[in-house]
């Protein structure tokens, strides 16, 4: 791991260097320091995110299948035909994509909503000290500490019809006859929502908990003296002060959930039930299983456009509201 050590050393040197210069050249520092500070982030973003994405957009205009994989620059230009297949809702590909899109939207709204509510609830409950608080805080973070595969495969095991814990429990409680399918049919949708929430809500908790730690306690004390109840304090103090963090948190939860590949792929392998046909798996099948990288990229670009629009509207809406408040 010598390269890493070098990088660390270099990172340190860079830090020290820039710490000394400003005293001498204050004017120049003010102009260039922010760029210097941003430089590492920009380099990595370009390398890993931006350039590959631009390439991906380029691929969406090619007829890139197994015949051209090896020399993909020579793949024939396909114009907008990949996009045409993807948006033609009368064709079977477009129809399936639209369905998958609708499923994914429903999935995302439910998962983000539930994760945020659970995370916020627990964060508020854990805000004040009581016996066992530290223990609970750790327990709640465990789902997040498991590798995704481990956390999801155990659910697959629990949800199986014959030998699963869920059916066993439901039968013991006399709620069902214990023969419900959870991994196929319409129930599969409910299953994947529960599993995704189980994985994601600790992250909401973690972020909100950290956010609440920086809220000044004296304000709460003053409010309590004024006779504000718990609910009042939450609405009038906690929520407004967490607005910035909430804005970011909800958006990020939305984007991750929408694009999540790990959870559905682990839970259903490549055989995803129709009711839970999430878009990431859908695109994966088009590209990697069917060797149609042009079509897969076109689908991805359409999703990207959709997410850009939604995010733009979201930011516009939330920033305006916060300005008004």
Taking CB under 8 A as the criterion, which residues in 134-163 touch another protein?
Answer: 134, 136-151, 153-155, 157-158, 160-163
CB of 272 to another protein, least distance (A): 9
Taking CB under 8 A as the criterion, which residues in 233-252 touch another protein?
Answer: 244-245, 248, 252
> By the 8 A CB rule, do 176 and 170 touch?
yes
* Strand partners for 77: 62
Considering only 110, 111, 193, 296, the residue that binds another protein (CB under 8 A) is 296
Considering only 122, 193, 196, 204, the residue that binds another protein (CB under 8 A) is 122
> By the 8 A CB rule, do 267 and 215 touch?
no
CB of 145 to another protein, least distance (A): 4
Q: How far apart are CA 310 and CA 251, in angstroms?
A: 10
CB of 82 to another protein, least distance (A): 11
176 part of the interface to another protein, by CB under 8 A: no
Considering only 51, 89, 313, 316, the residue that binds another protein (CB under 8 A) is 51
125 part of the interface to another protein, by CB under 8 A: yes
Helix residue ranges per DSSP H, 88-236: 92-125, 133-145, 148-159, 165-172, 187-213, 217-225, 230-233
> By the 8 A CB rule, do 115 and 201 touch?
yes
Contacts with 49 (C-beta within 8 Å, 6 or more apart), sequence order:
none
264 part of the interface to another protein, by CB under 8 A: no
Considering only 65, 87, 99, 237, the residue that binds another protein (CB under 8 A) is 65
Considering only 271, 323, 324, 325, the residue that binds another protein (CB under 8 A) is 271
Contacts with 83 (C-beta within 8 Å, 6 or more apart), sequence order:
60, 298, 301, 302
Tell me which residue has tokens 């994985």: 199
Give CA separation, 312 vs 67, 136, 315, 316, in Å.
39, 37, 5, 6
89 part of the interface to another protein, by CB under 8 A: no
Terminal Cα distance for the chain, rounded: 51
CB of 212 to another protein, least distance (A): 9
117 part of the interface to another protein, by CB under 8 A: no
Taking CB under 8 A as the criterion, which residues in 189-218 touch another protein?
Answer: 198, 202-203, 206-207, 209-211, 213-217
CB of 155 to another protein, least distance (A): 6
CB of 267 to another protein, least distance (A): 10
> CA 84, 88, 93: angle at the middle one, nearest 5?
95
CB of 126 to another protein, least distance (A): 8
Taking CB under 8 A as the criterion, which residues in 21-40 touch another protein?
Answer: 22-23, 29-31, 33-35, 37-38, 40
């Amino acid at each position: 791991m010598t390269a890493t050590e070098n990088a660390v050393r270099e990172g340190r040197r860079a830090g020290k260097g820039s710490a000394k210069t400003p005293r001498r050249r204050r004017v120049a520092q003010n102009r260039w320091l922010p760029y210097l500070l941003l430089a590492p982030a920009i380099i990595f973003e370009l390398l890993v995110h931006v350039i590959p994405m631009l390439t991906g957009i380029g691929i969406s205009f090619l007829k890139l299948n197994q015949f051209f994989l090896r020399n993909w620059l020579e793949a024939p230009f396909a114009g907008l035909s990949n996009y045409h297949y993807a948006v033609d809702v009368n064709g079977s590909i477009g129809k399936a994509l639209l369905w998958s899109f609708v499923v994914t939207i429903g999935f995302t709204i439910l998962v983000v909503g539930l994760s945020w509510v659970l995370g916020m609830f627990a964060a508020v409950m854990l805000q004040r000290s009581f016996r066992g608080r530290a223990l609970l805080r750790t327990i709640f973070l465990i789902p997040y500490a498991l590798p995704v595969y481990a956390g999801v495969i155990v659910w697959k095991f629990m949800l199986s019809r014959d030998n699963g814990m869920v059916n066993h429990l439901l039968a013991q409680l006399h709620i069902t006859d214990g023969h419900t399918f959870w991994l196929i049919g319409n129930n599969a949708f409910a299953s994947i929502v529960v599993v995704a929430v189980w994985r994601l809500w600790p992250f909401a908790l973690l972020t909100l908990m950290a956010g609440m730690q920086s809220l000044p306690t004296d304000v709460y004390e003053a409010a309590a003296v004024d006779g504000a109840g718990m609910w009042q304090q939450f609405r009038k103090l906690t929520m407004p002060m967490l607005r910035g963090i909430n804005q970011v948190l909800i958006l990020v939860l939305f984007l991750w959930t929408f694009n999540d590949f790990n959870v559905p792929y682990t839970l259903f392998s490549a055989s995803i039930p129709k009711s839970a046909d999430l878009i990431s798996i859908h695109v994966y099948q088009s590209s990697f299983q069917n060797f149609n990288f042009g079509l897969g990229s076109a689908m991805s670009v359409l999703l990207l456009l959709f997410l850009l629009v939604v995010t733009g509207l979201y930011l516009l809406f939330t920033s305006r509201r916060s300005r008004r408040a």
